[in-house]
Amino acid sequence: METGITSLLNGRPMPRKLADPLCTAKPYYFFINLTIDILIIIFISALYLETGDMAFTALGFVIISIALYISLYVVAFPKIATNALYLRNFSKDKSSEDVREYIEVMLGESYRLSGIRDPRKRINLIFRPIIIAYMALQYAGARFLNLEAGNDWKARIWSNFSDIKIVFIDLRELTDFVQEEIELCIKSLELERIVFIANTEANAMAWKTKLSHQYNIPKELQKSLHVIAWEANNSDRTKFMSDIERVTTTLPEGSADLLESSFPLVDSYILSKRESANERISNSLQIILGASLLGILVLIRLITAALSGVFGMLAVNPEDISMFKDSVEDTDIYFVAAEVGIVISTLYVLVVLYYLFRAIKGKFKLVRLAHKFKKSNMQYYVKQFIVASFFMGVILSGFSVTSYGVTHSYEYDLKLNKSNFESNKIDSIEQLMWEYIRFYGKCPDDEQGLKVLYKPNKEGIPYIESLNGRSDWKWREFHNPDEPLIDVWGNPYQYKTYYEKNSGNSYLKYIIYSFGEDGLPKTSDDMPIWWDGEGVPGASYHLDNGVHCEF
């Protein structure tokens, strides 16, 4: 038989079977996703290991990643190749989803029911490596099915018959394509392997007669012609299920054979060597491009994670981070990229979880149907449902752990940013104080305090406006002259003067500081800025919290 088909091909390659993206992606699934995510998690963990909050975040990502992969492996990826086909008009996909679920329950785990996916519902080859989890859940459902073909669809269906045990053909909405599929199946397969689905019992009998006459089916073989009814308005599916079971118990052993007699039906659909090679090259280039984009995205995520870690470590010292920013141009774009990446990743995970939940819900429906119609197949679906539900719970637990780490990390960053903002604000006050000292030859005394910097003088002009006839832009950035000098927590700045002896002389020095977030004196979050009367480093002062500070 194989030799005869080879001669009929006349030098052309054997038609490829229908593309099965789930089976193709399955071997690479863990490599592409799990490996990449674990590398990123390890990288982030190494950067933030000193902070327990980020360790919680990384742990949450580990839990989510592993649980998600196992859930998808159980729910989405097939255990066997397609051996049962469902052929229909694409417009009936949504309304025929229930039909396929009922059939799937009766077939059980030894069958995999598939069909050609509507080309409008396909995911481009370029994007599949990037969103492989989403693709797996989309293609695994019964709604739009999962096999693919191009203009050579008829030849590829014919080639697939060598693996097929049973074919279901939906007659409820006929098109030219469906009629071609009917002819191909009748002339390529044993009639016992074909099940036609009509919309009423009466219609089923009419179809049986019509098919017998149209395709010249001998009377002795007409009893092997299976036409069963799916009545949309009838909620009792007992007869439909019993008809399916009757068909499956009388199926011939093994899979179908490729028949030479049906070859003329597919001859014009078989690609030449050149066309076949061009199709393979095009598909390969798209996949390579998708893998390259995935690599670029991973690299961006690693770079943004690295820069975030560097800034996180430098943030405790504003001078160091300023030097770092000076040495790396446009650093803000990395933060924006990191934030956009986090938002997109989060949305993607939420979308995947939504479809995973739908898939688990679908498994529960199969459990109920199996319990009602085919208890012997129930264990298989129960096992899938329990495993997927358990890991869905693990995923939610991972989100809880991650949320804890992110929340506390955000609070820590918020506090750190306030501290840095406070330091920058005091730097501006300090510069203004230095100008005051240069102008008047001394710093304000305790009675004058910092209010002398913004209270009107004898001429009624605030010092900040009268100083050298200009205003300091940095001061304007942080302070409204109509308001008292307060820190970012709403507490007034503290100002003290003191004398320090040096070489027998006494020098008036000062200190400006904030009580910090708690607003209380003598606590560890007090934030001092020290400045001596001449601007010469070397003075020292004991704060009320007992800390000895030098500058």
DSSP letters for 494-517: EEEEEEEEETTEEEEEEEEEE-TT
* pLDDT given for residue 335 in this prediction: 54
3-state secondary structure of 550: strand
Residue 529 gets which letter from DSSP?
E
> What are the backbone angles phi and psi of residue 82, rounded to the nearest 5°?
-65, 125
- Single pTM value for the model: 0.71
Tell me, yes or no, whether 147 lies in a domain: no
Cα dihedral across residues 335, 339, 345, 346: positive or negative: positive
The 10s digit of each residue's pLDDT in 163-182 is: 999 999 999 888 899 999 99
Tell me, yes or no, whether 432 lies in a domain: yes
Tell me, yes or no, whether 234 lies in a domain: no
DSSP letters for 93-113: TTTTHHHHHHHHHHH-TT--E
Tell me, what CATH number does 462's domain have? 3.30.700.10
Tell me, yes or no, whether 112 lies in a domain: no
Rounded distance between C-alpha atoms, residue 463 and residue 457, angstroms? 7
Tell me, yes or no, whether 514 lies in a domain: yes
Structural domain boundaries enclosing 520: 411-550
3-state secondary structure of 167: strand
Tell me, yes or no, whether 453 lies in a domain: yes
Length of the chain: 551
* pLDDT given for residue 60 in this prediction: 73
- Under-70 pLDDT residues of the chain: 1-4, 30, 32-59, 142, 300-342, 405-428, 454-484, 488, 529-551
Residues 6+ apart with CB under 8 A from 181: 87, 154, 157, 169
How many structural domains does the chain have? Answer: 1
* pLDDT given for residue 115 in this prediction: 92
* pLDDT given for residue 405 in this prediction: 66
Tell me, yes or no, whether 191 lies in a domain: no
The 10s digit of each residue's pLDDT in 293-334 is: 888 877 766 665 555 544 444 443 444 444 444 444 444 555
Tell me, yes or no, whether 532 lies in a domain: yes
Q: Are 181 and 158 in contact (CB under 8 A)?
A: no
Q: Are 127 and 159 in contact (CB under 8 A)?
A: no
* pLDDT given for residue 469 in this prediction: 44
* pLDDT given for residue 529 in this prediction: 59
Q: Are 450 and 495 in contact (CB under 8 A)?
A: yes
* pLDDT given for residue 471 in this prediction: 45
* pLDDT given for residue 425 in this prediction: 63
Q: Are 9 and 270 in contact (CB under 8 A)?
A: yes
